[in-house]
């Protein structure tokens, strides 16, 4: 590995729109904000509606099922 080509990692504070804050390391020099994090993202909180809940699977099955005569 070559010396002196890699950027310095410094500690920064990341603030989410939901109010959660994290301290992490980054090449950015200033603190920054994000719109969504693992505390408020629907996939991680379990509040995400699946395809079946939206009726998409049933609609697909009705559309492409074999027509009985």
Which pLDDT score is estimated for 23?
93
Predicted confidence (pLDDT) per residue in 2-30, tens digit: 888 988 889 999 998 888 898 999 998 89
Query: Could you tell me if 37 and 20 are in contact, meaning their C-beta atoms sit under 8 angstroms apart?
Result: yes
Which pLDDT score is estimated for 12?
92
In 5-55, which ranges are continuous DSSP H helix?
A: 42-45, 51-54
In whole numbers, what is the pLDDT of the chain averaged over residues? 79
Separation of alpha carbons 48 and 40, rounded Å: 11
Q: Which domains does the chain have, with CATH numbers?
A: 10-64 (4.10.80.400)
User: Which is more confident, 25 or 53?
Assistant: 25
pTM (predicted TM-score): 0.52
Which range has the worst mean pLDDT, 20-24, 43-47, 61-65?
A: 43-47
């Amino acid at each position: 590995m070559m010396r002196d080509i890699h950027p310095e990692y410094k500690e920064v504070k990341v603030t989410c729109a939901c109010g959660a804050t994290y301290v992490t390391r980054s090449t950015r020099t200033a603190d920054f904000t994000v719109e969504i994090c693992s505390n408020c993202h629907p996939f991680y909180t379990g509040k995400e509606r699946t395809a079946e809940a939206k009726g998409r699977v049933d609609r697909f099955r009705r559309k492409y099922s074999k027509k009985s005569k």
